[in-house]
Amino acid sequence: MHPMLNIAIRAARSAGSVIARAFENTDKVSVESKGSNDIVTNIDLEAEQIIIDTLLKSYPEHSIVSEERGVIEGTNPDYQWIIDPLDGTSNFVKGIPHFAVSIALKVKGKLDQAVIYDPIRGELFTASRGNGAQLNSLRVRVQAHKEVAGTILATGFPFKQKASTDAYLEMFKTLFLKTADIRRAGCASLDLAYVAAGRVDGFWELGLKPWDTAAGELMVIEAGGLVTDLMGGHNHSKSGNIVAGSPRLLKEILTDIRPHLTPAMKL
């Protein structure tokens, strides 16, 4: 195992232990609003600090981008960690056991290592550039569907970009009429991990942040899939609009949603 992946796993498990304990003692959870439809808890902050401390103890020169703390500049710009300490905070607060710790490492601008840890199920998704993706150390692969018909897709509603609701619902309708079903579970990192593991066949969502998708993106790619923006390009980390799946399935998803894109979604 790559030594940096090993440290990331240690960080994810430590943060996950704090999150799992808090999930069973909700009276110790305090919730604050960060903005419209956006919340943070004291557990997000505690888990994030654990991850940052663990990473910087081993690699003090590395940079970090985290959801709550923002950017921590390191002395070596070639290494950048991207952290979401608790993806699915709303699920966590509501007592829905579906959330995860997400940690990715970029080396010279390219995704290199990834960890997504579900502390409730004890499921550890990992990926290393060029070495595949694993679930609890067992190799996983995307489902190689050739068409949307008969598939199960995952998605997320654009709750932070409600101006995109009409366009999104048209995409949803077009795809729903062709698929076997569509899931909306509230945790983008696990959605991507599930694509990598073949549990769902594809995924699309609007308005995500890099810490939502970085680890999951590498997992999908290392599991044999593709990740693009809504135009099939590589602007998803900036636009926040993402599509993932096997190469042939992704191509059809893009074809189906393209008629419903607004001008802003094509950037």
pLDDT in tens, 23-39: 999 888 999 988 777 78
Under 8 Å between Cβ of 83 and 66:
yes
The lowest-confidence range among 53-57, 142-146, 161-165 is 161-165
Q: Are residues 186 and 243 in the same domain?
A: yes
Query: 245 near 202, Cβ under 8 Å?
Result: yes
pLDDT band at 139 (very low <50, low <70, confident <90, very high): very high
- C-alpha–C-alpha distance, residues 254 and 256, integer Å: 5
Domain final residue pick, 140, 174, 206:
140
Instruction: Give the pLDDT score at 146.
Output: 87
Secondary structure (3-state) at 109 = coil
3-state SS class at 135: strand
Q: Which of 91, 114, 140 is the last residue of a domain?
A: 140
Contact 63, 79 (CB under 8 A): yes
pLDDT band at 4 (very low <50, low <70, confident <90, very high): very high
Q: How confident is the model at residue 152 (pLDDT cuts 50, 70, 90)?
A: very high
| Number of domains into which the chain is organized | 2
Q: Is residue 145 part of a domain?
A: no
Categorize the per-residue pLDDT at 161 as very low, low, confident or very high, splitting at 50, 70 and 90: confident
**156 and 98 housed in the same domain:** no
Q: Are residues 9 and 127 in the same domain?
A: yes
Do 10 and 72 have their domain in common?
Answer: yes
User: Is residue 147 in some structural domain?
Assistant: no
What is the token pair recorded at 112? 């290199």
pTM of the predicted model as reported, rounded to 2 decimal places = 0.97
One domain for residues 12 and 134: yes
pLDDT digits (tens, 9 = 90+) for 66-82: 988 999 999 999 999 99
Residues 6 or more apart in contact with residue 94 via CB below 8 angstroms: none
